[in-house]
Amino acid sequence: MKNKQPAPAFSSIGPVYDRLMDDVPYYDWIRYLERLFHTHGFLPRRLLDLGCGTGRATLLLRKRGYQILALDRSRSMLRVARQRFRTDPGVLCIQADARNFAFRQPVDGAISMFDTLNNFLKQQELLQVFQNVYRVLRPGGLFTFDMNTPWCLAHIWGDDVKVKENAGIISIWRTRFSAHPPTARLWITLFVPEPDGRYRRLDETHVERGYSLDTLHRLLKKAGFRGITMYRHLSLRPAREADPRIQVLAWKGES
């Protein structure tokens, strides 16, 4: 009997994603975003959460009073987010591809968290995302996102096998790095406990690409952004190529 092929990224793990990622410090990340807003004198009311996933970070933003357009292309992940916000008119969950979306009304700012943009594997695809975000921002709006660097994919992901347990879910993470272009492939196998004591197996394949700081700067400028700043993630120190994760800020001009 042939082995079942792994499912595409984020196509099946939505119902268990929050348990699988129960150790992710979303609260610290949202505090950092608001620190960046304050540092740069940015006071948004209406935000786009690009690649919102199951909406855990969205919920923290919502509790701080922001109105949110929560966008994700994964039906599995977005189904959880919609259930989370089913009674909250301040969050609109939208299933769409980040390379191809539009809104009637502009947003004050756009965020993208947890290396969402590393999932775009070609420069042209990433440029399309930047162009779309630029179009939906109001003049003077801010786009900020984090990304794993090529250094991270090579040295932290690398060629490795890890086994974890999160909230009763056993997971196996197998990674392989390719240098040209800097790309890491992840095969993840989950064993999810069922009420009858058995375990259900889920398999997905994920691929991320890292981009140099110069490439990100060039693509953002090509999309129209100005005032581009890059920090080491969770800090206000200038980003370096050897930082594992960086935070990027890019502004749409006032006119």
Q: Is residue 123 part of a domain?
A: yes
Q: How many domains does the chain have?
A: 1
Does residue 3 carry a pLDDT above 80? Answer: no
Q: Is residue 91 part of a domain?
A: yes
pLDDT of residue 4: 64
Q: What is the rounded distance in angstroms from the CA atom of residue 95 to the CA atom of residue 86? A: 15
CB 9 within 8 A of CB 205: yes
Domain that includes residue 64, residue range: 24-148+212-251
Q: Is residue 111 part of a domain?
A: yes
What's the average model confidence in pLDDT over 166-182?
Answer: 96
pLDDT of residue 9: 87
Tokens of 191: 């064993």
pLDDT in tens, 129-165: 999 999 999 999 999 999 999 999 999 999 999 999 9
Q: Is residue 227 part of a domain?
A: yes
Q: Is residue 128 part of a domain?
A: yes
Number of H helices, E strands in the chain: 7, 12
Q: Which residue has the higher pLDDT, 227 or 9?
A: 227
Q: What is the rounded distance in angstroms from the CA atom of residue 247 to the CA atom of residue 230? A: 6
pLDDT in tens, 77-134: 999 999 999 999 999 999 999 999 999 999 999 999 999 999 999 999 999 999 999 9
Residue located via tokens 């993470």: 173
CATH code for the domain in which residue 86 is found: 3.40.50.150
Q: Is residue 117 part of a domain?
A: yes
Q: Is residue 182 part of a domain?
A: no
Entry pTM? 0.95
Percent of the chain with pLDDT over 70: 98
pLDDT of residue 1: 39
Q: Is residue 185 part of a domain?
A: no
